[in-house]
Amino acid sequence: MSILAVRQLSVWGKEKRIVDSISFDIHQGEWFALVGQSGSGKSVTAAAIGQLLPPNLYATGDVRYRDKNIVTLSETAIRQLRGKRLSYIFQDYQGSFTPFLTIGRHFEEYQRTHLNLSRAARKQQAEEALRSVGLSEQLYNRYPFQLSGGQLQRVSIAIALLLKPDILVADEPTTALDSVSSFQILQLLSRLQDETGCAILFITHDLRHVKKYADQIAVMNEGAIVESGAAKKILGNPSHPYTRTLIRSMPTLVQRDALTPEGVLP
């Protein structure tokens, strides 16, 4: 059974339709990748799901989470859902932090909104969460500027997973990181997904990440989904010309695939 069922979701701007009646299902514990070139509508789709669109855009259609259309939930209801059941991490992790608040205060704000815990329990929970993403609990008292990009993205993951959501929306979470940090963040997400059983909606234009981690993919082009299904099948045998072009534009993916088991080109 799907945990999130997206049906005929469209996103409209003033002058045009940006996302064009797309449908897909995400199942419990699944890594679902939404892929496509820059500007194809991935981020707007992710934002529409949690009612995070900027004011000049609006969504129509159905996004079912536990039999509720969450696109039409009230502001209060969607706030409760976001964070508790549906969490987000973003490419721009810097933007998620307030420079003059410590890491601990960022946890606190989140905990106070969603939980009823004593101060000591909040601190203990935050320190455990920091350790779960491979960070020292000493970062609790530090300010965002004292952490590296990779560390800050780890903190946002720790906060996003604090309440054990059913779905984590990860919108290009590694784009702003160097390749070593990106690799570590993806490994971390994969481990935490195994541990928590959450589904991940992973937004990316990098098919190398998809190849390694995704169970299912949907390929977006100009606001529409042109092809979707099991990641292995689509990457191994794409049927849509756009998907084929996307795969061809990833030289390392093609080259690695083209190598024989001995590591040479046939």
The Cα 50–Cα 81 span in angstroms is 9
Q: Is 57 in the site for ligand ATP (CB under 6 A)?
A: yes
The single-letter DSSP state of residue 51 is: T
Q: Is 36 in the site for ligand ATP (CB under 6 A)?
A: yes
Return the number of the residue (82 or 205) whose C-beta is nearest ligand ATP. 205
Residue 128: CB minimum distance to ligand ATP, A: 33
Write the binding mask 140 to 179 for ligand ATP: x where contact by CB under 6 A, - elsewhere: ----------------------------------------
Return the number of the residue (54 or 99) whose C-beta is nearest ligand ATP. 54
The Cα 61–Cα 45 span in angstroms is 12
The Cα 166–Cα 197 span in angstroms is 8
The residue from 5, 7, 13, 58 that contacts ligand ATP (CB under 6 A) is 13
Closest CA to 24 of 37, 8, 47, 48: 8
The Cα 91–Cα 153 span in angstroms is 9
The residue from 26, 30, 32, 43 that contacts ligand ATP (CB under 6 A) is 43
Return the number of the residue (108 or 206) whose C-beta is nearest ligand ATP. 206
Q: Is 39 in the site for ligand ATP (CB under 6 A)?
A: yes
Token pair recorded at residue 15: 């002058």
Residue 187: CB minimum distance to ligand ATP, A: 22
- What separation in angstroms does the CA of 8 have from each of 3, 22, 23, 228, 252? 17, 5, 5, 15, 35
- What separation in angstroms does the CA of 76 have from each of 10, 48, 70, 164? 23, 16, 12, 20
Q: Is 129 in the site for ligand ATP (CB under 6 A)?
A: no
Residue 176: CB minimum distance to ligand ATP, A: 12
The residue from 35, 42, 129, 188 that contacts ligand ATP (CB under 6 A) is 42
The residue from 41, 50, 165, 173 that contacts ligand ATP (CB under 6 A) is 41
The Cα 138–Cα 136 span in angstroms is 5
Residues forming the site for ligand ATP (CB under 6 A): 13, 18, 36, 38-44, 54, 56-57, 205
